[in-house]
Copies of this chain bind each other. A is one copy, B any other.
């Protein structure tokens, strides 16, 4: 029997965003590994073992899953959103690079999912309609100076920004500091979108101008999109406004 490891993207939370490929990979697994709340989204299945672990144990979780697969099991590691965007796919690759030689021989498959920025963007229009970047604000694994350098570079280059991991209990001030920094570069009217728990019952979306953007609106389940100077807000009578970035960009920003 030869094992297989599948790294599966669950999407942001609404089952209607789970692709058929992901559903099939989950159903075919002997064992499921993942952060507890993500595993809870996967319906229980007879004969399938479940191995929840804590939020900040990605490396150890990946190693456990690889070991289990190398013993011959069909193992699925689940990720919220897309596993390749600030999630488990890189953790699995890291373990394969630095782990036992046998792990390089394993059949490893990555199953993409709808990542949070796409789901949040779809709720409000098309803020990612032109050039953009995706940045993690977590300084657990990189120096804060690097985050600042990338915020500066993205703002100066006119890129829309999707900000992952804006805030957590152990990182309380970073998001406010990032917003302050962006206010140096961007118009105060730049739209900022807070998308919390998209597709889940406690979903909440809000749009505000950069000048008024309050870091207290974000938590661990929030994805923040900061517009570029080109990003537009279209008011609609009786409906939520649309936020979008036009496909055309006329001028080079300063």
Q: Which residues of A are interface residues toward B (Cβ below 8 A)?
A: 11, 14-21, 24, 58, 82-87, 89-94, 96-97, 104-105, 107-108, 110-115, 118-119, 121-123, 125-136, 141-143, 145-146, 149-150, 153-154, 156-159, 232, 234-239, 242, 244-253
Contacts and interface: CB of A to CB of B under 8 A. Distances in A.
A217 to B, nearest CB: 22
B19 A96 contact: no
A84 B238 contact: no
Given A244-B94, A247-B141, A159 B133 contact: yes
B96 A234 contact: yes
B247 A105 contact: no
Contacts of A235: 104
Contact of A20 (B18, B133, B134, B250): B18
A252 B134 contact: no
B112 A122 contact: yes
A1 B17 CA distance: 28
Contacts of A248: 141-142
B24 A16 contact: yes
Nearest to A127: B84
Contact of A93 (B129, B132, B238): B129
A-B CB proximity, top 9 nearest: A90-B129, A93-B244, A89-B126, A153-B157, A133-B133, A16-B21, A141-B248, A110-B122, A90-B126
Contacts of A150: 131, 157-159
**Which of A97, A107, A136 neighbours the largest number of chain B CB atoms within 10 Å of its CB?**
A97
Contacts of A127: 84
Contacts of A107: 239
Contact of A126 (B93, B122, B250): B93
Contact of A135 (B20, B123, B131): B131
